[in-house]
Amino acid sequence: MKKSFNRFQLNGGDPHPTTLDDDPSIDHTISVDARADLNGFPPPSGRAVRGLKTTVAFGAVIGAAGLGLWAYSNFTATPVRPAVVPPPSVAVAMPVQANVADWTDLTGQFSAVNQVVLRAQVSGYLTEIHFKDGQIVHKGDLLFVIDPRPYEIQLEQANAQFQTASATLALANKQLERSARLNRVAVESDEHLDESTQSQRAAAAALKAAEAAIHAAQLNIEFTHVVAPFSGRVSRRHVSIGSLITGGPGATTATELTTIVSLDPIYLDFDLSEADYAAYQHSAAARPSGANAVQISVDGERPWARAGDLDFLDNEIDRRSGTLHARATLTNPDMMIAPGGFARVRVPLSASLPQLLVPDAAVGTDQSSKLVMVVQDDGVVVPKPVEIGSLEDHAMRVITHGLLPTDRVVVQGLMRTRPGMKVEPHLTTVDANTNS
């Protein structure tokens, strides 16, 4: 008797049940064994069996394709050779040999060689102003005019007094001559002769007083025209046209008009320590006579672009600060330096001696020591500890110990090097007079 399974039970409630005998996809020869192995569980449907077969077949295809690709890759692959990296290229240069002196760097302040406060020397009303505030003026330029008419009148009066005194003196001279002639013939007494002599002397003195009055009036007229006593920069005006100006011998306080400071040349004041002063004095014997040049660096300009002459040292050391006041004079043709500004000054403390210099950028730091990278003949980079000196102009560093004149120092490409590596050096030159 053949048993049948309802597909409605296997397929979740199919409304059209069929038997296994009616399904052509089922192999009837193994149906009894399959049912015997289910141990009471319902057998899988035909659709599930077909999906399982499809999955197994697809997996076999993928495995075969992968095996073929692996075999092909093993057959066609070639061994990979490492790329050859060329040694880095660096620029090297020999140290520059130049005569260098020991310097001390100090801070100084500029001051004017000449400075004056212009005050009125006569009294009167201000009538003219002939400059603009802050203008550059030259010696003799007219700045202010005070009303000169009262002093012109005084000059006329002084001239009149002079003429009167001249006439009086001429009469006194004639009377003295007459009295002397009569006295010689005993016609006139000695007493009358003495009176004539006294009158003549008084008339001569009155004439001199009249001449002095003329000079005073002329000088007052000159004082009404205030001119620049020297070339320099004038400050702002402290008075306006129409102001009553007081000045002269009769005034208690003279009116301040403006101030002028000279600009060319100009002073640079600074203080030397006691040790620097001693070193400077000791090096004086090795310097040529009159060679007291100092280097000056002003903000906004190339470092150490100006030079001055140290022409003054004070006569004692300040007990409170232990410093000695010094002063250098320098030219200021462009008048760009103003009194009161600050600058750096280098004072030589020794005579010029031969030294080795390298670009400051070529000097590295290893903790507390300094070193430079040197390329040997075989192209290997070797670090050399060095002792450095002052930083000269154009970014050149003085090397006092540890370097030979024939060493090839890495000056460009320093970041691409390390001790022990091989490089391709290219020799270049550095000049102490050009910025490296």
Rounded Cα–Cα distance for residues 102 and 223 (Å): 54
Are 263 and 112 in contact by the 8 Å Cβ rule? The answer is yes
Contacts from 39-42 at CB under 8 Å and sequence distance 24+?
42/5, 42/9, 42/10
Q: Please, what is the average pLDDT of the chain?
A: 81
Burial group, residue 395, by CB count within 10 angstroms (0-12, 13-18, 19+): middle
How many CB atoms lie under 10 A from the CB of residue 382? 13
79 by DSSP, 3-state: which?
Answer: coil
State the residue for tokens 């049912």.
35
Q: What's residue 303's pLDDT?
A: 80
Mutual orientation of helices 149-184 and 190-223 as an angle, nearest 10°?
A: 160
Give the H or E element holding residue 353.
strand 353-359
Rounded Cα–Cα distance for residues 393 and 306 (Å): 12
Rounded Cα–Cα distance for residues 233 and 340 (Å): 14
Confidence of residue 17 (pLDDT cuts 50, 70, 90): very low
- What tens digit of pLDDT does each residue of 220-279 get? 999 999 999 999 999 999 999 999 999 888 778 899 999 999 999 999 999 999 999 998
194 by DSSP, 3-state: which?
Answer: helix
Task: Report the percentage of the chain scoring pLDDT > 70.
Answer: 78
Rounded Cα–Cα distance for residues 199 and 138 (Å): 51
Contacts from 22-29 at CB under 8 Å and sequence distance 24+?
25/50
Q: What's residue 345's pLDDT?
A: 93
State the residue for tokens 């030219």.
331
Global pTM?
Answer: 0.63
Rounded Cα–Cα distance for residues 393 and 359 (Å): 10
In Å, how far are 53, 72, 182, 216, 403 from 62, measured between CA atoms?
A: 15, 15, 167, 128, 72
More confident residue, 375 or 192: 375
E-assigned strand segments in 28-114: 89-93, 96-100, 103-112
Rounded Cα–Cα distance for residues 20 and 417 (Å): 86
Rounded Cα–Cα distance for residues 435 and 230 (Å): 40
Give the closest residue to 307 by CA, choosing from 342, 278, 268, 338: 268
Burial group, residue 120, by CB count within 10 angstroms (0-12, 13-18, 19+): buried
Rounded Cα–Cα distance for residues 25 and 46 (Å): 7
178 token code pair: 């007459």
- What tens digit of pLDDT does each residue of 379-410 get? 899 999 999 887 776 678 889 888 999 999 99
- What tens digit of pLDDT does each residue of 313-342 get? 999 999 999 999 999 999 999 888 999 999
Rounded Cα–Cα distance for residues 329 and 111 (Å): 10
Q: What's residue 390's pLDDT?
A: 77
- What tens digit of pLDDT does each residue of 144-160 get? 999 999 999 999 999 99
Residue 220 CA to its chain's centroid (Å) = 49
Report whether pLDDT(43) > 70. no
Rounded Cα–Cα distance for residues 436 and 429 (Å): 10
Q: What's residue 23's pLDDT?
A: 47
Q: Write down how long the chain is.
A: 436
In Å, how far are 195, 296, 300, 323 from 328, measured between CA atoms?
A: 67, 10, 20, 16
Rounded Cα–Cα distance for residues 288 and 324 (Å): 23
Dump the DSSP string for 284-310.
Answer: TTTSPTT--EEEEE-TTS-TT-EEEEE
Report whether pLDDT(291) > 70. no
Q: What's residue 8's pLDDT?
A: 38
The DSSP symbol for 380 reads: B
The DSSP symbol for 393 reads: G
